[in-house]
A and B are shown apart, each in its own frame.
Chain A
Amino acid sequence: MIASVCIVLGSLVIIFGLVIVNGASSLSLEMITQTPTLSPPGSPPGGGILNAIVGSLLLALPATVFASLIGIGIALFLQTDFLHPAVSNTIRFMLDVLWGIPSIIYGIFCLMIMIYIGMSSSLIVGMIALTMLEIPIITRCMDESIKMVPIGLREGSYSLGSTKFETAIRVVRRQAFPGILAGVLLGLGRGIGDAASILFTAGFSNHIPTSIFDSTAALPTMIYNLYSTPLGQSKAFAAAFILLIIVLVVSVLSRLLTRRFKKHIIK
């Protein structure tokens, strides 16, 4: 038993350590404030990874906002007040499957639609792919916490004469808020780290996108493009390091905010 804990913790510590040691050593001010520059073949790629950092944020933040707005609508609607349990359980099952399918399927799905309507890979298509990827994650998390809202609270609200919608949006939403927030941040964490869905949809570019129809780089696709070239590995590690920090910050933020908002809920 202790051996298995050691295997788990050991392998995880090794991965963390590798990224931190290699990432920190290749990280410099130039790396995070410059976009890549052209360099003669054979020399290490110059410049930094600013395009990927900005691209990742531009892709994942709006996607998380859209997915949260759609997700909260679905999660509130899945309650017994609005839907028959048989129907909502079927939708829950579909959401679980959508959560489980590989993210590359979202990627090629958006790519097909993109080609069909004659667009090329761009920020907006990548954003849509990420939104689709995040909706099931965010919705299922919100749904789990909304399920925990005591029925007495809803009944109290109804007895005062509020409508179903008012109860859902004012009472249930408020009581389930810590869980909703945790869901949003989980979605953000997954969205920012996913490479397969934006590989074909967001494309790649050495510049910071100027419009939503430009193709853009992102941290995961940057790593994926650079990992196999020996000269690009320091950049890949710098990108992995930044990605790790973002994921860490999101996770800590989720913990802190959840604790903070738990004070306001009625037990």
Chain B
Amino acid sequence: MNARKLRGAIGTNLMRIATLFISLLFFLILILLIYRSTLVLGTHSIIDVLFSSIWNPDNGQFGLAAVLIDTILVTGIALLVAIPISLLSAVYIVEYAPLKLRRTIRPFIDVLAGVPSVVYGLCAFLFLAPFVKDVVAPWFGVQSTGLCIFSAAIILSIMVFPIIISLCIESFDAIPLSLKEASLSVGATKWETVKKVIFRASAPSILAAILLGFGRAFGETIAVNMVIGGTIRLPSSIFNPGETLASLIASKYGELMSIPLDESALMLVALILFIVVLLFYFLGFLLLRRAKKRWNY
């Protein structure tokens, strides 16, 4: 075997090892999380854990219902606010905005997508929370400390804007000009073209962008932890403090890690996070494949 072949063999095997490592890491994390959460699942049934709302580790009660509801509320509100606003902004930037504005906005948005979440959290804690407390909550006629589900959802939606916008801009740009021209030439207005041609032609990419936004909102730990207030109780309104799955781990892991059963409960929370992300990405993957087949431009 000559030197070139030897080098090739060594290099290829190094690459193979790296690839094996990352595939193993995926299963290792999954298996370890399952293994560590069996302890709590051995003494509590999964139904008990998921549908009971009493979280009291001192009494051995690990009901996650309140946390799950908070997570769904925070993620749902964040996406409900972020998706329409981001889509409309992306359309405006690509189709309506003057070229000069377009060129300045795009790098700006790319930078924003990379701003660390802890910076968003800091701003939300010091400025958004007092604003919610003094202005928004009284406007709805409720009392709030400002550290609540609503604040967390708003800061999450702001964090998700740049992600969805930048992906949507990319996909709107990739639509062939002839498609738009064909629509305009049969007498469609600009808005009709946007609605019936652009949104449809880039539906798979929009879906992918929303999925990525969901991942970010659902798993965001630190920024949510800083503004949500950290109370585990069934929320009666969105101006109540709460706790999401990811932020529960961040705030409780330090104090609970020494007690095996409590630690195991937090591992179960991590496992739920992992599995939900896995399922959503799988669903997205299937939808994307179908959408690509159907709308093939």
| CB–CB A227/B273 < 8 A | no
| CB–CB A220/B222 < 8 A | yes
**In the complex with contacts A8-B89, A195-B118, A224-B118, A73-B253 CB distance below 8 A:** no
| CB–CB B119/A243 < 8 A | yes
Closest to A95 in B: B22
| CB–CB B19/A163 < 8 A | no
| CB–CB A7/B270 < 8 A | no
* B273: A residues at CB distance < 8 A: 101-102, 105
* Segment with Cβ contacts to B, from A27-35, A209-217, A244-252: A244-252
Q: Complex: how many Å from CA A139 to CA B267?
A: 27
A25 on interface, CB distance cutoff 8 Å: no
Contact with B18, one of A73, A103, A220, A247 (Cβ below 8 angstroms): A73
| CB–CB B161/A196 < 8 A | no
Q: Complex: how many Å from CA A2 to CA B98?
A: 12
| CB–CB B18/A77 < 8 A | yes
Q: Complex: how many Å from CA A14 to CA B155?
A: 12
Q: How many residues of B contact A (CB 8 A)?
A: 80
| CB–CB B117/A70 < 8 A | no
B69 on interface, CB distance cutoff 8 Å: no
Q: Mark B115-131, 1 if CB is under 8 A from A, else 0.
A: 11111111101110000
**In the complex with contacts A112-B36, A243-B116, A100-B277 CB distance below 8 A:** yes
Majority DSSP secondary structure for residues of A touching B: helix
* A132: B residues at CB distance < 8 A: 25
A residues 139-178 near B (Cβ < 8 Å) are: 139, 163-166, 168-169
Task: Show 6 A/B contacts (Cβ-Cβ < 8 Å), sorted by A.
Answer: A5-B97, A7-B85, A77-B16, A91-B19, A91-B23, A200-B254
Interface residues of A (CB under 8 A from B): 1-2, 4-5, 7-9, 11-12, 14-15, 18-19, 70-71, 73-74, 76-78, 82-83, 91, 93-105, 108-109, 111-112, 132, 135-136, 139, 163-166, 168-169, 186, 189-190, 192-196, 199-200, 220, 223-224, 227-228, 233, 236-237, 240, 243-244, 247-248, 250-251, 255
Interface residues of B (CB under 8 A from A): 4-5, 7-9, 11-12, 14-19, 21-23, 25-26, 29, 32-33, 36, 84-86, 88-89, 91-93, 96-97, 105, 107-108, 110-112, 114-123, 125-127, 158, 161-162, 165, 212, 215, 218-222, 226, 246, 249-250, 253-254, 257, 266-267, 270, 273-274, 277-278, 280-282, 285
